[in-house]
Amino acid sequence: MADYTSQFSIRRLWIILCVGMVVMFGALLFFGAQIYHSKPPMPGAVRSASGHILYTGEEIQRGQSVWQSTGGMQQGSIWGHGGYVAPDWSADWLHREAIALRDSIAATEFNALPEPDQARIGAILKHEMRTNSYDPKTALITVSDQRAAAIVATAAHYEDLFTNRTPADQHLRELYAMPQHAVLTRDEAHALGGFIFWTAWATAAERPGEKISYTSNWPHEPLVGNVPTGAIFLWTFLSIFVLLGAVGTLVWYYAREFDVWRGDIEPIEGFAQTDLLRAVTVTPSMRATAKYFFVVTAMLLAQVLLGIVTAHYAVEGQGLYGLPMTEYFPYALTRTWHTQLAVLWIATAWLATGLYVAPLLGGREPRFQRLGVNFLFVSLLMIVIGSFAGEWAAIDRRMGTGAVNFWFGHQGYEYLDLGRFWQIYLFVGLLLWTLLVLRGLWPALKEKGGRSLVFLVVIATVSIGLLFGTGLLYGEHTHISIMEYWRWWVVHLWVEGIFEVFATAIVSALFVKMGLVRVSVAATSVLFATVIFLFGGVLGTFHHLYFSGTPTVVIALGAIFSALEVVPLVVVGFEAYNRAKVEHQHDWQTAYRWPFAFFASVLVWNMVGAGMFGFFINPPLALYYMQGLNTTATHAHAALFGVYGMLGLGLTLFCMRGLSDPARWSDKLLKSSFWCLNIGLAMMLFFSLFPQGLYQAYQSYTHGYAYARSAEVIHGPVMQALVWARVPGDVVFATGVVAFAIFMVRALFTRDRRGDANGTPAPATLPLAGA
Ligand code: HEM
Ligand SMILES: [Fe+2]
The pLDDT of residue 753: 47
pLDDT digits (tens, 9 = 90+) for 531-557: 999 999 999 999 999 999 999 999 999
Nearest CA to ligand 1 atom 11: 636
Cα of 657 vs centre of ligand 2, distance in Å, is 34
Res. 464: pLDDT tops 60: yes
Tell me the C-alpha distance between 326 and 174, whole Å.
9
How far apart CA 594 and CA 743 sit, in angstroms, is 12
Distance of alpha carbon 347 from alpha carbon 345, whole angstroms: 5
Per-state percent for the chain, helix, strand, coil, to nearest 5: 75, 5, 25
Ligand 2 centroid–CA 496 distance in Å is: 6
Residue type, 592: Y
- Report the atom number in ligand 1 closest to the C-alpha of 563: 30
> Which of 179-188, 312-321, 598-607, 711-720 bottoms out in mean pLDDT, i.e. has the lowest?
312-321
Least confident of 61-75, 267-281, 432-446, 602-616: 267-281
Provide the pLDDT confidence category of residue 759 given band limits of 50, 70 and 90.
Answer: very low
Pocket test for ligand 1, best of 236, 500, 615, 632 (most atoms within 8 A of CB): 632
CA distances from 232 to 215, 283, 542, 635 (A): 12, 56, 13, 21
Ligand 1 centre to CA of 471 (Å) is: 18
Which of 40, 44, 48, 110 has its CA nearest to residue 79?
Answer: 40
> In degrees, to the nearest 5, what angle opens at C-alpha 270 toward C-alphas 269 and 272?
100
Mean per-residue pLDDT, 723-749: 94
Ligand 1 atom 17: the closest Cα is on which residue? 636
- C-alpha–C-alpha distance, residues 720 and 148, integer Å: 37
161-212 residue pLDDT tens: 999 999 999 999 989 989 888 889 999 999 999 999 999 999 999 999 999 9
608 DSSP 8-state letter: I
Which ligand is closest to the CA of 500, given by its number?
1
* 219 cis-preceded (ω within 30 degrees of 0): yes
Distance of alpha carbon 525 from alpha carbon 456, whole angstroms: 12
Strand partners, 761: none
| Nearest one of 268, 273, 345 to 304, comparing CA atoms | 345
Q: Is the pLDDT of residue 8 over 60?
A: yes
Cα 636 to ligand 1 centre (Å): 6
Atom of ligand 1 nearest to the CA of 606: 1
Q: Is the dihedral of CA 540, 544, 550, 551 positive or negative?
A: positive
Q: How far apart are CA 359 and CA 365, in angstroms?
A: 6
Q: Which pLDDT does position 310 carry in this prediction?
A: 87
Cα–Cα distance, 276 to 658 (Å, whole number): 12
Closest ligand to 700 CA?
1
Q: φ, ψ for residue 419 (rounded to 5)? A: -55, 155
The residue whose CA is least distant from atom 28 of ligand 1 is 614
SS (H, E, C) 102-128: HHHHHCCCHHHCCHHHHHHHHHHHHHH
Atom 27 (ligand 1) nearest CA: 610
Ligand 2: distance of its center to the CA of 644 in Å? 14
Q: How many CA atoms lie within 13 A of 689 on its CB side?
A: 23
Looking from the CA of residue 414, the nearest atom of ligand 1 is 15
Give pLDDT tens digits for 560-590. Answer: 999 999 998 888 888 887 777 777 777 777 7
473 and 488 Cβ atoms separated by less than 8 Å:
no
- Highest mean pLDDT among 128-132, 519-523, 748-752 belongs to 128-132
Q: Which atom of ligand 1 is nearest to the CA of 627?
A: 41
Residue 226 near residue 203, CB atoms below 8 Å: yes
pLDDT at 1: 58
- The pLDDT tens digits for 303-346 are 999 998 888 887 776 666 667 777 788 999 999 999 999 999 99
Q: Are 464 and 499 in contact (CB under 8 A)?
A: yes
Q: Which atom of ligand 1 is nearest to the CA of 611?
A: 27
Whether 766 shows a pLDDT value over 50: the answer reads: no
Side chain identity at residue 725, one-letter code: A
Residue 317 confidence (pLDDT): 62
Residues 422-438: tens digit of each pLDDT: 999 999 999 999 999 99
CA 287 distance to own-chain centroid: 31
- Work out which ligand 1 atom sits closest to the CA atom of 605: 1
- Helix and strand numbers (H, E) in the chain are 32, 6
Q: To test ligand 1's pocket by mutation, which of 218, 492, 496 has the most ligand atoms within 8 angstroms of CB?
A: 496
Phi-psi region of 340 (alpha: psi -120 to 50; beta: other; left: phi over 0): alpha
Atom number in ligand 1 closest to CA 415: 10
CA of 688 to the centre of ligand 2 (A): 23
Say how many C-beta atoms besides its own lie within 10 A of residue 107's C-beta: 8
Q: Which of 340, 491, 613, 635 to mutate to test the pocket of ligand 1 (most atoms within 8 A of CB)?
A: 635
Q: 417: Cβ–Cβ under 8 A, 6 or more apart, which residues?
A: 71, 72, 74, 336, 339, 340, 387, 391, 410, 411
H or E element that contains 54:
strand 53-56
Q: What's the whole-number mean pLDDT along residues 22-33?
A: 96
CB 209 within 8 A of CB 197: no
Specify the higher pLDDT residue, 496 or 581.
Answer: 496
- Residue 342 CA, closest ligand 1 atom number: 10
* Ligand number with the minimum distance to the CA of 641: 1
Q: Residue of the nearest CA to atom 40 in ligand 1?
A: 627
Alpha-carbon distance of 464 to 174, in angstroms, equals 40
Ligand 2 center from residue 431 Cα (angstroms): 24
Query: In 3D, which of 269, 145, 171, 723 has the Cα closest to residue 517?
Result: 269
The DSSP letter of residue 472 is: G
What values do phi and psi take at 610, rounded to 5?
-85, -50
Q: How far is the CA of 106 from the centre of ligand 1 (A)?
A: 43
Q: How far is the CA of 382 from the centre of ligand 2 (A)?
A: 29
Lowest mean pLDDT segment, chosen from 157-166, 628-637, 743-752: 743-752
Q: Express as a percent the part of the chain with pLDDT over 90.
A: 73
Nearest ligand 1 atom to alpha carbon 629: 41
Cα 17 to averaged position of ligand 2 atoms, centre (Å): 20
The model's pTM: 0.93
CA distances (Å), origin 264, targets 116, 132, 257, 347, 517: 74, 63, 11, 34, 9
Backbone torsions φ then ψ of 203, nearest 5 degrees: -80, -15
Cα 298 to averaged position of ligand 2 atoms, centre (Å): 28
35-39, 123-127, 525-529: segment of lowest average pLDDT:
525-529
Q: Whose alpha carbon is nearest atom 13 of ligand 1?
A: 636
- Nearest ligand (C-alpha, residue 561): 1
Contacts of 512 (CB under 8 A, 6+ apart): 267, 450, 453, 518, 519, 522, 766, 768, 771
* Through-space distance between the first and last CA atoms of the chain, rounded to whole angstroms: 24
> φ and ψ at 2, to 5 degrees?
-65, 135
Q: What is the pLDDT of residue 751?
A: 60
Q: Are 527 and 9 contacting, i.e. CB atoms less than 8 angstroms apart? A: no
The whole-angstrom separation of Cα 273 and Cα 724 is 51
Query: Is the predicted pLDDT of residue 412 greater than 90, yes or no?
Result: yes
More reliable by pLDDT, 106 or 311: 106
Stronger pLDDT, 661 or 608, i.e. the higher one: 608
Distance 624 CA to ligand 2 centre (A): 15
CA of 562 to the centre of ligand 1 (A): 10
Q: Which residues line ligand 1 (CB under 6 A)?
A: 80-81, 414, 495-496, 543-544, 562, 565-566, 610, 614-615, 617-618, 623, 627-628, 632, 635-636, 639-640, 643-644
Does the structure show a pLDDT above 60 at 754?
A: no
Give me the chain's average pLDDT, please: 91
DSSP string, 136-165: TTTTEEEE-HHHHHHHHHHHHHHHHHHHT-
Quick one: which of 666, 672, 679, 670 has its CA closest to 649? 670
Rg over CA atoms, the chain:
27
**Domain architecture of the chain: domains with CATH:** 45-227 (no CATH), 571-752 (1.20.210.10)
